[in-house]
Every structure is written in C-alpha cells, then in structure tokens.
Structure 1
C-alpha cells in the first residue's frame, strides 16, 4: 500500500504547484499542470466557463491580469481512486492589493493520472454564499475549524 500512498501524494504536489503558479500569475506554469486533452474545462468563480486548453489559457491570463492574487486552502477534502483524485476545497482568494476584499470560494479540482503524472482535468469554482461565508469565517475565527 505505500506505493499508492505516494501516488496520491503526488496529486497534492500538482495542486500545490497550481497554487504557486497562480500566486506568481504565471499562466505558462499553470498550463503545464493541465491534462493534454481538449476536454479540459474550468468554471471560474466569476461564472466564466472555459473550455479546451486554449480557452483556459486565455481566460486565466485575463483573470491574472485583471485581478492578481493568491489562493489559500482553508478546508480540504480528498476523494481518490486508482486513476482519479477529486479535491473539494474551501479557499480564500486574496487579491494582491491589500485594500482588496478576500473572497471565500468553494472549488473542486478533478485530477487524473496521465503518463505517470497527475494533471488537472477540471476545475469548478463558485463563490461561497454570503450566509455560508459568514458562518465559515466565524468558525475559523473561534478556532472551531470549518467542520464543527
């Protein structure tokens, strides 16, 4: 079983590389993490639907230029099988401008094992509703964690 444990840890490495590339605003680095298939899709928190690698590249480049920032995972749930890992994550999207407003986002990442590496096949992000975001933030402030 240790072989499988390392296999799934590598998916987390891909997710961490994604967060780092977003923080750097580096579209080229982000795109190296995607599956090499045109069925790749990304639904952004702003509602944009990006389809195919070129559509994803163009959409993310536009977002990075308009609103650079970082993503901080707050709560992570992982569902894995032999060739697929799904991350369901509550994230804080922090703008680079300190005066900007941090948004709480629910994001699902679907990763597949392709040619010996974990690649992103789909991202679906949606803004946390205000009521849920308020409850989530209050629990985090009181040290209860998001699951209590």
Structure 2
C-alpha cells in the first residue's frame, strides 16, 4: 500500500517551519519532514557533497537514504533571516553531531540555506541547500565612503 502524505499542519511563520524541520531530522521522521515541504513539483534540495534533487519524490528519496543511516542530530545556529511578504530565506550554520556512543561523537558544521514560501496552507519549505562549512564567520568589511572628500 503506498504511503500517503499526512495532512499538513498550518505553519504560521518560517521560524516555525524551520524548528519543525530540524525536529523531524532529529526524530528521523520522514513523513513529518515531508509535510513541511511545499507540494510544488519544483522544490529543490542539495545535501553536502550530493546532487541537486528536484521534486517531492526525489527530495523524499534523498532524505530516506540519509535516514537509513540513522537520525541526524542537527542544531541550527547563527541564523541570518531575510523575509519578504510571501517568501523568506534563512541561512544557518548547522551544528551536526556525527558518530555513535561507542566510538564517540564528533561535531561538524554545515552551512545551509532554507527558503520558505507562504502558501494557502501556511508557510512551506521550497528549497534546502547545504554545504560543508565551519562555525567561523568572516568579519564584516567596512564599506568605502561614497565620496572621496
């Protein structure tokens, strides 16, 4: 019997979607995770070192493969938010715990961009792009004066 997508819960803010996304990763709950994505055929996901996947079935398959290795202990940190009327972009540093209790856990960092769109069903994830990274940020560079005098 094919799996059906559970009824989506109305998410009222991009922050709420993001919190549920990382909770679903930690719980290894594929159905909960996919309920956060838009139903749009153009959703896109890129995991560190992986290919670009487009569409709900491909995104689901990519997360299913990751969950086959266990849950992902990921905590978003250093969130940079840009929000418009019907779209939002969050760039985060994900603190990822790798390993198992027997061998010890290690921490790695991933830089991710999550894009959200406001739909009639509330806010939904439309893109997740993650790349290997660090928790170090470059200092802001002062802008040059606009006049020479």
How would you bin the TM-score normalised by the shorter chain?
0.7 to 0.9
Task: After TM superposition, give the deviation of residue 69 of structure 1 in Å.
Answer: 2.1
Considering fraction of residues, name the structure with more helix.
1
Task: Flag structure 1 segments of 5+ consecutive residues without an equivalent.
Answer: 1-7, 137-145
Task: After TM superposition, give the deviation of residue 92 of structure 1 in Å.
Answer: 0.7
Task: After TM superposition, give the deviation of residue 67 of structure 1 in Å.
Answer: 4.3
CA RMSD of aligned residues (A): 2.0
How many equivalent residue pairs?
127
1:122 matches 2:124:
no
Task: Flag structure 2 segments of 5+ consecutive residues without an equivalent.
Answer: 1-10, 140-149
What is the TM-score of this pair, normalised by structure 2? Answer: 0.78
Higher relative contact order, chain-length normalized (CA < 8 Å, sep 6+): 2
Give the Cα separation in 2 of the matches to 1:55 and 1:84.
Answer: 23
What is the TM-score of this pair, normalised by structure 1? Answer: 0.78
State the partner residue of 1:59. Answer: 62
- Alignment CA distance shift 1:43-1:127 (3 Å): same
Structure showing greater radius of gyration is 2
1:19 matches 2:15:
no
Give the match's secondary structure for 1:21: helix
Give the Cα separation in 1 of the matches to 2:98 and 2:30.
Answer: 17
Moved more, 9-18 or 78-87: 9-18
Tell me which of 90, 96, 100 is aligned to 1:97: 100
1:40 matches 2:47:
no
Q: Deviations over 1:57-94 (max 9, x none)?
A: 11101101124221111200000100000001111111
State the partner residue of 1:108. Answer: 113
Task: After TM superposition, give the deviation of residue 102 of structure 1 in Å.
Answer: 2.0
